[in-house]
Amino acid sequence: MANAAEFLQEDLADGGQILRLSGSFTIALIGDVDGRLRDLSANVRKIDLRAVEHMDTVGAWLVHRTAKASGAEIVGAGNDASRLLQAVSGADQADIPPRPHPPSFERFLAEVGHSVVISFTTLLQFLGFVGQVVKASFILAMNPGRFRWHAVVQHFDMVGVRALGIIGLMSFLIGIVIAQQGAVQLRQFGAEVFTINLIGRLTFRELGILMTAIMVAGRSGSAFAAQIGTMKITEEIDAMRTIGVVPAEALVVPRVIAAVMMMPLLGIFASLMSVIGGGLLCWVVLEIPPATFVQRLREVTPMTDFWIGMIKAPVFGAIIAMAGCFQGMQVHGNAEQVGLKTTAAVVQAIFLVIVLDAFFAIFFSEIGWN
Amino acid sequence: MDQPNIISVQGLCNTFGEQVIHQDLNLEVRRGEILGVVGGSGTGKSVLMRSIIGLQEPVAGKIRVFDEGMIGKEEDEASDVRRRWGVLFQGGALFSTLTVAENVQVPLREFYPDFSKALLDEIAHYKIYLSGLPADAAHKFPSELSGGMRKRAGLARALAMDPELLFLDEPTAGLDPIGAANFDNLTRDLKETLGLTVFLITHDLDTLYAICDRVAVIADKKVIAVGAIEELLAIDHPWINEYFSGPRGRAARRGHDKHNNNPQPELHQPGRS
């Protein structure tokens, strides 16, 4: 096995020193020689390579650096060593400029400014994006032949049909939770029967749609952002543009339509599952038979509650799909961006949905749909 | 014949589902040579490379690299072999969230965690120079580089560990002719200075003539011939004939002969491009 890299210092007649290197000056056997050569303070005049068994570019670099720092002469280099030394010595001509590191206060200000600028440009871009989608929708409405039915149906499947299982289960459990909590609290007043009011009104009016929207944002909004973002990175979207396919028409509109159409259906399904969950708990815990439960539900839940849900659902669907597609389109550069934008799409979609839900709640109360 | 083989592939079979890519393929790569691997599109050149470096589990066959069996080795095994080879993938395969300099340092940090930051920076610096990149590329991200620069950055990373064995997958594809010739010179210089063994997949006939010691031809699911180009020209096989004697093959040969008859002074140096 080869010996580790090593060096000895010897005094020369003229007062300087000679470094006698020995062993293998290779990456695997260089050990601590780098640090020791770096700390060397002696007046080195010569570097002797005669005893070096083997050398690679790392070893050559160390020799070259030491020689250059001290102005020493390299002696006893064989053919291979000279060639390596010559190869690495060229790197001196091209110094890498150090990475700029402004003071932290300056960096903080720059980052704040950068974020403000980014926020405004993103807002403008989002408006532009919405405009593109509206324009594309009009063009498609005028030329139904260009409409991509196949893509829309495929997204129906992805957004709607495949979400049924998880949304159904989640809603069923939420129905049970609402009923259980309602029953416990209302029992204190002997008003357990109002649990049915709670279930009926809350699920159709608020929770059924809201929870569905959150689930769709997590499932489909993220998928939209990741799909479109990946297509952006692999230049598929650029390819579409050059062929004359408008990405807003081909990618965004089918997704938005699928989300807008599927959200109300999923919302109805989620509300029903919640009612079933709540009804089951009422039956088991409060001993209200299903027939009574249904009858009472029909008495206390006004039809407007259902309509409120159905008005909100497509709006939420549009927001989720637009946020997902917009963030996907914002991806540029590397794979990390896809992850960041996917997260942004989900956060943005859920945030907007909840803000809008608050507005809807006040609006519908004001117009008297209590 | 005391030249030990660095890579030896015996009876390799690869299939993708029903499709058979390799059937009983044999290949040997000798120490210190540049072996060019050619073959039509879809003949499994890249699959052969992926099999050798352990990214593709073959159905059957034996693969030995530095006299160590490579089949069935996990990512964390055979690290002694892994530190002795460098791989340049077709697209460069740089880590997109790291700068070029950081990319070069990844294998160094992995295998030699004791190296000081200063030494890592110096190594990255001269490797970037050796691969022919301008110095200011060091702090750029891969998305800010052109295709050719990305390839050079990939080469810098492949060379980071001073490997004995270098795998190059179509290194000159997508480079302009001057860049491609520079890359060829660079490969040969590195081979001569560092004593590399190079496994080179290429479509570029100029590269074959300029730097390859031997050429392996893949066709009909196996290596049908290995040898210097002159030896291959003597073989009567339709694909080989068409490949080397087609218009491009003839042009490359003429260019090569002309170059040999009027030897030019060696002007190139690594990194000058």
Which string of DSSP letters, residue by residue, matches A211-228? HHHHHHIIIIIHHHHHHH
Separation in Å, CA of A202 to nearest CA in chain B = 46
CA distances from A10 to A47, A50, A70, A187, B238 (A): 10, 15, 15, 96, 67
Average pLDDT over residues A122-141: 92
Is the residue at A59 inside a domain?
A: yes
Please check whether residues A88 and A133 belong to one and the same domain.
Answer: no
| Distance between CA atoms of residues B59 and B47, nearest Å | 12
Flag if B135 and A95 touch (Cβ within 8 Å).
yes
Give B193→chain A minimum CA distance, Å. 6
Do A146 and A238 fall into the same domain? yes
Chain B CB contacts of A332 below 8 Å: 143
- B75 by DSSP, 3-state: which? coil
For residue A97, give the chain B residue with the closest CA.
B136
Total CB pairs under 8 A between chain A and B: 77
Report the interhelical angle of A290-300 vs A253-281 (nearest 10°).
Answer: 120
Given this model, what pLDDT does residue A174 score?
95
B-chain CB neighbours of A235 within 8 Å are none
- Torsion, Cα B186 B187 B189 B192, to 10 degrees, reads 170
Residues A52 and A163 occupy one common structural domain = no
User: For A320-338, b where at least 16 C-beta lie within 10 A, e where not — what string?
Assistant: bbbbbbbbbbbbeebeebb
Residues of B in contact with A333 (CB under 8 A): 96, 141, 143
Examine residue A313 and state whether it is found in any structural domain, yes or no. yes
Residues of chain B whose pLDDT is less than 50? 1-2, 266, 271-273
Whole-number Å distance between alpha carbons of A179 and A199: 6
- pLDDT greater than 60 at residue A104: yes
Winning range, highest mean pLDDT, from A54-58, A186-190, A222-226, A284-288: A222-226
Angstrom distance (rounded) from CA B264 to CA B261:
9
Residues A71 and A143 in one domain: no
A95 interfaces chain B, CB cutoff of 8 Å:
yes
**Contact yes or no for B162 and A57 at CB 8 A:** yes
Both A124 and A89 in one domain: the answer is no
The pLDDT score that the predictor gives to residue B53 is: 84
pLDDT at A93: 66
Classify the C-alpha dihedral B28-B30-B31-B33 as positive or negative: negative
The alpha helices in chain B, defined as continuous H runs, are 45-52, 79-82, 100-111, 117-130, 147-158, 177-194, 205-211, 229-233, 238-245, 247-261
Predicted local confidence at residue B144, as pLDDT: 84
**Segment A220-242 mean pLDDT:** 91
Contact A224, A258 (CB under 8 A): no
Whether residue A113 is contained in a domain is answered as no
Q: Are residues A129 and A85 in the same domain?
A: no
Amino acid at A109: L
Q: Which of A152, A128, A136 has its CA nearest to residue A259?
A: A152
Residue A15 has pLDDT above 80, yes or no: no
The residue among A58, A93, A128 that closes a domain is A93
At A184 the pLDDT is 92
| Angle between helices A79-89 and B117-130 in degrees, nearest 10 | 90
B143–A65: do the CB atoms touch at under 8 Å? Answer: no
Q: Both A52 and A126 in a single domain?
A: no
Tell me the C-alpha to C-alpha distance, in Å, between residue B170 and each of A124, A162, A370. Answer: 43, 43, 70
Question: How many Å lie between the alpha carbon of B50 and the closest alpha carbon of chain A?
Answer: 22
| SS3 annotation, A136-201 | HHHHHHHCHHHCCHHHHHHHHHHHHHHHHHHHHHHHHHHHHHHHHHHHHHHHCCCCHHHHHHHHHH
Contact B96 A336 (CB under 8 A): yes
- A142 and A238, same domain (yes or no): yes
Number of residues assigned to chain B: 273
Q: Determine whether A61 is exposed, middle or buried from the number of CB atoms within 10 Å of its CB (0-12, 13-18, 19+).
A: buried
CA B105, distance to chain mean position in Å, is 20
| Cα four-point dihedral sign A325, A329, A334, A337 | negative
- Number of domains forming the structure of chain A: 2
Report ipTM for this prediction.
0.73
Task: Report yes or no on whether pTM surpasses 0.80.
Answer: no
- The answer to whether residues A360 and A308 touch, using CB atoms and an 8 Å cutoff, is yes
Contact state of A94 with B96 under an 8 Å Cβ cutoff: no
Give the closest residue to B205 by CA, choosing from B38, B66, B54. B38
State whether residue B43 is helix, strand or coil: coil
Contact: B194, A57; criterion CB under 8 Å = yes
> Considering the domain boundaries, does residue A99 fall inside one?
no
pLDDT at residue B272, as a whole number:
44
Enumerate the β-bridge partners of residue B103. none
pLDDT per residue as tens digits for the range A43-52: 778 888 888 8
CATH number of the domain that A26 lies in? Answer: 3.30.750.24
Q: Are residues A175 and A249 in the same domain?
A: yes
Same domain, A211 and A328: yes
At A333, the amino acid letter reads G
Distance from CA of A92 to the nearest CA of B (A): 8
- C-beta of residue B169 within 8 angstroms of C-beta of residue B198: no
Contact at 8 Å (CB) between B106 and B83? no
Query: For position A95, what pLDDT does the model report?
Result: 66
In a domain, A98, yes or no: no
Q: Which residues of chain A lie closer than 8 angstroms to B123, CB-CB?
A: 58, 61
CB distance B39 to B218 below 8 Å:
yes
Neighbours of B119 (CB within 10 A): 20
Q: Is B270 helix (H, G, I), strand (E, B) or coil?
A: coil
Q: pLDDT tens digits for A336-356?
A: 889 999 999 999 999 999 999
DSSP state of A159: I
Residue A334 touches chain B, beta carbons under 8 Å: yes
Q: In the predicted model, what is the mean pLDDT of chain A?
A: 89
Name the minimum distance, in Å, from the CA of A59 to any CA of chain B.
10
Q: What is the pLDDT of residue B61?
A: 85
* B142 secondary structure, DSSP code: G
pLDDT of the residue at B260: 65
Domain identity same for A213 and A297? yes
pLDDT at A347 (0 to 100): 95
On whether the CB atoms of residues B51 and B63 are closer than 8 A, the answer is: yes
Helix axis angle for A253-281 and A303-329, nearest 10°, is: 140
Q: What's the burial of A55, exposed, middle or buried (CB within 10 Å: 0-12/13-18/19+)? A: buried
Identify the weakest region by mean pLDDT among A271-280, A295-304, B257-266. Answer: B257-266
Q: Tell me the residue range of the domain where A86 lies.
A: 6-93
A144 shares contact with chain B (CB less than 8 Å): no
| A99 CB within 8 Å of a chain B CB | yes
Least Cα separation, residue A333 to chain B (angstroms):
6
Interface contact A58, partner B, CB < 8 A: yes
> Do the beta carbons of residue A337 and residue A229 sit within 8 Å?
yes
| Cα gap A61→A63, rounded to integer Å | 5
Residue A129 lies in a domain: yes
What SS3 state is found at B269? coil
A185 and A258 belong to one structural domain: yes
> A15-19, A283-287, B54-58, B189-193 — which one is most confidently predicted on average?
A283-287
Q: Say yes or no to pLDDT of A154 above 90.
A: yes
In a domain, residue A111? The reply is no
User: Can you tell me the distance from the alpha carbon of A23 to that of B39, in angstroms, rounded to the nearest whole number?
Assistant: 44
Contacts of A27 in chain B (CB under 8 A): 112, 161-162
Best CA proximity match to A171, nearest among A205, A198, A209: A209
CA A13 to chain centre: 68
Strand order in the sheet with B68-69: B19-30, B5-16, B60-65, B68-69
**Does any domain span residue A110?**
no
